[in-house]
Amino acid sequence: MKTDKVFLTALIISLGVHAAIFVHSSGLKIFNLPKKEKKIELSYVKALKEEPKPKPERNMLQKPRDEFLKIPPRITVEKRLPPQSSGEKKELAATTPVFQKPVLAKPDIIAVKKKITLPPVDMNKINNPSYISYYQIIREKIRRAAYQHYSRTEEGEAFLSFMVSSDGTLNEVRYIEERSTKNPFLKEIALKSINEAAPFPVFPKELAFPQLSFNVIISFEIE
C-alpha cells in the first residue's frame, strides 16, 4: 500500500513539473498580473497672437498704378510735339499742315416748283350735273398722274380728246397737235398720264350711256 501511495505522489509531482515546463516554454500566461497605470500629465500653452501689421499710408497725391498702365491718347495736332526753341519753331511752321475749312460747292441744280393745271374747256352746252361731276373726277386723276411724270422745265399745253366706256375703260385717245404746244416731251407726258389714270370710275346711274367723250387740256408750268 505504501508503495502505491509513493508511486501516486511521484506521478503527481512529475505531472506538475512537466506542466509548468510546458506552460513556461509556450509563453502562456495563466495568471495575468494587474499592470500599474501610468499617469500622463498634459499642459496647455496659449498661442501668441500676431499683432496686425500697420497698413502703409497712401499718399493722396500719388496716382494709382493702374493709371500708369493706360494707353495715352492719340497725339492730335495740338499735342504732337513738345515746345521747341524759336529757331526750331520756324522750321516746324514750314512743315506743319494748315487745316482749312472745306468750301461747299454750290449746286448746279436749282430747285423749281412745278405746276400742273387743267384749264376748263367749253362746257356751256352741257347741262347734266352728273356728267360735270364725273368729268371733274377724270380731270383730277389725270392731273395727279401728270404731276408725277413732269420732271423737266419745259412749259406748254397738251390737248387730249378721248372716250370712256360705262365701265370706266379708256378708249380712242387722241393728241390734238394743232391745239397743243409742239414739244415731244410734253406730248409723251400727256399720253402717259392719261393711260396711267385709267381705268376711271363706273358711270353713275344718271349717266345711262354706253360711252361718253371728254376733252382735257394739261398745262405744264414752272413757278
All structural domains of the chain with their residue ranges: 128-222
**Topology, domain 128-222:** 3.30.1150
CA–CA separation, 50 and 61 (whole Å):
32
Eight-class DSSP state of 135: H
Tell me how far CA of residue 172 lies from CA of 87, 107, 120, 205, in angstroms. Answer: 90, 44, 21, 23
**pLDDT tens-digit profile of 204-216?**
999 999 999 999 9
CA–CA separation, 196 and 199 (whole Å):
8
Indicate the SS3 state at residue 213: strand
Beta bridge partners of 163: 171, 213
**pLDDT tens-digit profile of 97-119?**
565 665 555 555 556 688 899 88
> From the DSSP assignment, how many helices (H) and strands (E) are in the chain?
5, 4
**For the chain, what is the mean pLDDT?**
76
CA–CA separation, 102 and 105 (whole Å):
9
pTM of this structure: 0.50
